[in-house]
Chain A
Amino acid sequence: MSKEPNNSIDLAAARARLAQDGDKRLWQSLEELSDTKEFREFKENEFPAKADLAIPGRFSDDVGRRDVLKLIGVSAALTGLGACTKLPTEHIVPYVKPPEEIIPGRPLFYASSVIQHGVGTGVLVWSYEGRPTKMEGNPEHPGSLGAADVFTMASILNMYDPDRSQSVLHEGRITDWPHFAAAMADFNQQVGPQGAGLRILTETVGSPTLASQIKKLLTMYPQAKWHQYEPASGDSVREGGKLAFGKYVNTLYHFDKADVVLSLDADFFNVGVGHVRHTKDFTSRRDLGAGPSANPNRLYVVESMPSSTGASADHRLAMRSTDIEAYARAVAAGVGVSVANSSGGAKIPADWVGGVVRDLTAHRGASIVIVGEHQPPFMHALAHAMNAALGNVGKTVEYTDPVEANPTNQTDSLKELVGDLNAGKAQVVVILDANPAYDAPADMNFVDTIFKARLRIHAGLYADETAELCHWHIPATHSLEAWSDARALDGTASIVQPLIAPLYDAAHSSHEIIALLTGDSGTSAHDLVRSYWQGQRPEKGEAFEALWEKSLHDGFIAGTAYPASTPTLSNASLSQAPTASAADALEIVFLPDPSIGDGFYANNGWLQELPKPITRLTWDNAAMVSPATAQRLSLNKEDYVTLSVGGREVKAGVYIVPGHADNSVTLHLGYGRRRSGQVGTGPGFNAYLLRTAAAPGFVTGLDIKKTGDNYSFASTQQQYTIDVDGHQQEEESVTAMEPSHGRNLIQIATLDEFKKNPSFAKDPAEEATENVSLYPKWKYNEYAWGMSIDLNRCVGCNACVIACQAENNIAVVGKEQVERGRAMHWIRIDTYFRGDLDAPEMYYEPMPCMQCENAPCEYVCPVGATSHSSEGLNDMVYNRCVGTRYCSNNCPYKVRRFNFYLFSDYTTQSLYGVRNPNVTVRSRGVMEKCTYCVQRINAARINSEEENRAIRDGEILTACQQTCPADAIVFGNINDPNSRVSKLKAQTRDYRILTDLGTRPRTSFLARVRNANPEITS
């Protein structure tokens, strides 16, 4: 290409490029299509110099020739001396009286639960000598089945977070719990007779015990009120159920029984009650092990912002969130629900109505219609009606009592509190965990009204925006530090069991705070939880004792799931008139952030640095727009704009997302925190400043104005690009063999194509490369490890990335380093687009180290720091590595990561706790990469040899495989033809990437097969 590349995205050029290359072309980013200078740098070098990013004051800034020479001299002189350090004196500090069960050096596992938005999900926690290090799903818990999402796994970092609130604060001054307890001694006088002035504000309470405590408090003070508020807690799901059935219900979806699923703006793999279980169930129907006779499910997604659910869909339609109601009405009418059709407004492709309706009605009783949490209650009522009309109720959809302890309309609840504050009725406000000063709807003016309360008490994990406005702040305990309970998605009672005493003496759980107010301060949280369940269960005495022991062991009380009920559908619920909106009016959509949720996880470095699905953006949210809208409003990526709606405004950077709905802007919640911590304070833009109580999901009437400034984002989307074209050119001149030129890294077919040609993914030229090597072949007498990743199952939820980070002590590098392509993740989710810029298909490819048989990295290491193990791993030996980076230069898959600085935190004491003691913490100047969790392999091998047996298939689960909610990753012994991984690799869909290089990777992929509906063409 002769044209000098520039650095900005040229959408017109991108369109032209796509038109020229045809709709089978896979592409990763707009930068790639525009062929920007930055993209070229990333493509050609794994770690581009990016001199333009030099930050003043940093080492990289302004280093002259003389300085370089000086530094070379000094480092040469110091290299030798550095090796002369003596090992420091170490101490062994044994127990005085050894606790039972603990074997030093061996982990113990405890079952506990993590509560998100009032719903409990079972976890198993690794504990080394009483120190919890990693959270994984509990295989027996109905909400988990062994899998876990990013929030669950990353939440352990919150416990060790050095920015956690560590002491009781009274008017900003450090004090302690006894002082607080003393100040509360005359609590009953402060709140007035009958507690008329008392208001309790909590997050969604999922703990039945806590709810019973609060109810006891309300009985003591009958005029007191209990409010609940969480910004993204599914208010409209709750209200939609009430609208449809006249009461609050919990909807239980059985995706494993559904042949056809229609998602209306629902990212049900990542958001909402039971999303982990939903992913498990859904992907079990994506299995193509049966080959051409397989019968996979089909997923339709209609959404505005591309989500990982939308990317996994067989058909995806980008549509403004506002317009989805019109589409839903059309489909509902088609499946036999009597509802008024929207007139005009939204453009709805006819095939999307006809095709989907026919598919749904052809699968009566085996389909699901699900609606996103940010859609209004009416839409949820409509979905209930559609599921009823399709005969799904009792089959794929069931209803039970609500799992949260006290369902309420939380927006109304907070509104009432604000009203009482304004009226001077709320005198004493106790806020538990909630952070309304940050996340309350903007029109409530919470920050101003809260001052009208005479006494304000806040408890939370962080001294956050709300704590700042309160007289008292009590540090809350983490879920690993205190007893509690919750109900799982199906109502199963789940116990939250602490693994460690609170790290800080001042930390107290909500149970203890309410107990203090009810005068039960002598009772521990354990006794409260235990006696609550004792009261609930028929078992008495020893029988209860046995049940309790078993439940603590299992993590839940077996047989406590709610029975399914059949609430009556009220037809009146659908009488609401269609909402109309001008077709070209800009809407703004508020979604919980896929990485940091509603903002609670803002100070979690693992999550901040986690590339979000599709956009692969880190450390920020952004005003996400579609390419067409960007062109219409002449916006470009990284433009700094003012978003204004309803008289409120926020400044944000623009990010162009292929596949986003036109005339729609998505701004994720959770960013722009003012008081969070070293990590969370600052990044991104505060969407809550635009969000009102009336329109918490989305609203039209948005106006965008350019400020003329730029805002720089750190996205990994264009980084680690695998250069398929480049190696093709070189290859031709070097070897005579038939190269598999430009073979796509993701192999895709429709179900029909797959049935006609089951081996479509195989590279016909692969055989030829099999034996091309100057080196002798490796022999494996016992085990040869390998991995298979099923792209048809992967939903891109990122769980593997966080699991890997937690397991392998992977460092967080910060935004500037991510921009330079230096993020350290050992497994990344490559995202590809195919076809049209406005409505592309999206595909995922998780990329860990391929553990090549003929590994290019091994040949070039001058110090033997990466070498082939006897079981086929490409070992990485940190203590040998001198940091030449030859290996990463030579890695065609770009999976090696280099510690350019001392990324691992060696100084913060509290972070020592979270590290896996079986994995070396890497220092600066050292290369690192995925090792197939060699620590787990070694542990299993030692175990098996001590028991004088072979390692069983499935005994070793790599961290990514263990947590994968989609069961997409399978690891095992490829020397054993009967192992699960061997059988997967024997499937016709199995293929390896860059086969023409002759690297013979051990990680192979199972090709993606889209179950396309021929009726849908748009």
Chain B
Amino acid sequence: MQIFHRSTNLISRFSIFGGVVFVAFLGWALYTIALSSWYTRQNYTEQQPVPFSHRHHVGELGIDCRYCHVTVEKSSFAGVPPTQTCMTCHSQIWTNASMLEPVRASYRDNTSLSWIRVNALPDFVYFDHSIHINKGIGCTTCHGPVGDMPMTYRAGSLYMSWCLDCHRQPEKNLRPRSEVFNAFYQQPSGDTPVTYNGVQYTNQETLGKQLLTDYKIHDLTFMQSCSTCHR
């Protein structure tokens, strides 16, 4: 005996196929969300205690990265400047700017400024600044156009795939060590040739290959070994 009318078949068909479509949609939606900059915080700026502008300090004034990030060549951690570093200049200029009051207060009261970390990696990733600097990876390769950032934002997704893109093909991003701290570096092209070791390079491919050997960049097995970054 039939309990259900024939028309209910439509409902069951719809729910079966609809279910498949729904699961597929859900998967796509989650995937898109996970890749979205809303989720990765890529290109988002944070409300910092002091609205520090890299564009002004680096782009307009031309202060070297290492003036503030002193340990970047020596340690895994690039270092965020102590208040004292800010005060080397700001005890002389803009001494009354209200924007800088938190800096003066920090120096006066001996309490640290608390910046919000923009480029945060999970704790199981052991990134080391010094070795990347040493191997010819420029600051802006990962941190983006810092010299043009009025407020600092995260330039990459910082996903593992983002790291591996470069670990698998480092030659695409290598630059001469002399250019590592150049915040406005352009990859070699006909218009912007790059001189390395007295030779002018006009494309990244040849320069990258040369640097790959000169800087003794490891082979793919090492660059993809788990313990290279995870411990």
Contacts of A96 in B (CB 8 A): 82-84, 106-107, 110-112
> Are the C-beta atoms of A942 and B130 separated by less than 8 Å?
yes
* Interface residue? B162 (CB, 8 A): no
> Which of B107, B122, B222 sits near A879, CB closer than 8 Å?
B122
Contacts of A3 in B (CB 8 A): none
Distance in angstroms from A415 CB to nearest chain B CB is 54
> Which of B74, B79, B230 sits near A878, CB closer than 8 Å?
B230
> Are the C-beta atoms of A95 and B130 separated by less than 8 Å?
no
* Interface residue? A531 (CB, 8 A): no
> Which of B74, B75, B112, B227 sits near A93, CB closer than 8 Å?
B112
Among A94, A98, A782, max chain B CB count under 10 A is at A94
* Interface residue? A512 (CB, 8 A): no
> Which of B83, B84, B117 sits near A89, CB closer than 8 Å?
B117
* Interface residue? A560 (CB, 8 A): no
> Are the C-beta atoms of A935 and B225 separated by less than 8 Å?
no
**Known contacts A92-B115, A104-B77, A938-B126: does B231 contact A869 (CB below 8 Å)?**
no
> Are the C-beta atoms of A98 and B230 separated by less than 8 Å?
no
In the assembled complex, the Cα of A273 lies from the Cα of B112 at a distance in Å of 46
> Which of B75, B111, B123, B225 sits near A103, CB closer than 8 Å?
B75
* Interface residue? A91 (CB, 8 A): yes
> Which of A104, A878, A931, A942 sits near B128, CB closer than 8 Å?
A942
> Are the C-beta atoms of B77 and A105 separated by less than 8 Å?
yes
Contacts of A938 in B (CB 8 A): 126, 128, 227-228, 231
* Interface residue? A873 (CB, 8 A): yes
In the assembled complex, the Cα of A309 lies from the Cα of B160 at a distance in Å of 50
B residues near A, CB below 8 A? 30, 39, 46, 71, 74-77, 79-84, 106-107, 110-117, 120, 122-124, 126, 128, 130-131, 134-135, 216, 218-219, 221-222, 225-228, 230-231
**Known contacts A87-B122, A103-B71, A104-B75: does B231 contact A931 (CB below 8 Å)?**
yes
**Known contacts A90-B117, A931-B231: does B222 contact A870 (CB below 8 Å)?**
yes
In the assembled complex, the Cα of A524 lies from the Cα of B146 at a distance in Å of 49
**Minimal Cβ-Cβ distance residue in A for B125:** A879
> Are the C-beta atoms of A98 and B74 separated by less than 8 Å?
no
In the assembled complex, the Cα of A874 lies from the Cα of B40 at a distance in Å of 31
Contacts of B111 in A (CB 8 A): 96
In the assembled complex, the Cα of A948 lies from the Cα of B134 at a distance in Å of 10
Contacts of A84 in B (CB 8 A): 30
> Are the C-beta atoms of B124 and A920 separated by less than 8 Å?
yes
In the assembled complex, the Cα of A937 lies from the Cα of B124 at a distance in Å of 17
Give the top 5 A-B pairs by smallest Cβ distance, nearest first. A105-B77, A105-B75, A870-B221, A870-B222, A875-B226
Distance in angstroms from A849 CB to nearest chain B CB is 13
In the assembled complex, the Cα of A919 lies from the Cα of B110 at a distance in Å of 32
Among A92, A103, A867, A921, max chain B CB count under 10 A is at A92
In the assembled complex, the Cα of A87 lies from the Cα of B42 at a distance in Å of 13
Those of A45-86 within 8 Å (CB) of chain B: 84, 86
> Are the C-beta atoms of B131 and A90 separated by less than 8 Å?
no
Contacts of A358 in B (CB 8 A): none
Those of A870-916 within 8 Å (CB) of chain B: 870-871, 873, 875, 877-880
> Are the C-beta atoms of A105 and B219 separated by less than 8 Å?
no
> Are the C-beta atoms of A94 and B83 separated by less than 8 Å?
yes
* Interface residue? A934 (CB, 8 A): yes
Contacts of B82 in A (CB 8 A): 94-98
Contacts of B79 in A (CB 8 A): 94, 103-104
**Minimal Cβ-Cβ distance residue in B for A946:** B134
Distance in angstroms from A563 CB to nearest chain B CB is 45
**Minimal Cβ-Cβ distance residue in B for A90:** B117
26 contacts between A and B (CB under 8 A): A89-B116, A90-B120, A91-B116, A91-B117, A92-B117, A93-B113, A94-B79, A94-B82, A95-B82, A96-B112, A104-B75, A104-B77, A105-B71, A106-B71, A782-B218, A869-B226, A870-B218, A875-B226, A878-B230, A879-B230, A920-B124, A920-B231, A934-B231, A935-B231, A938-B128, A942-B128
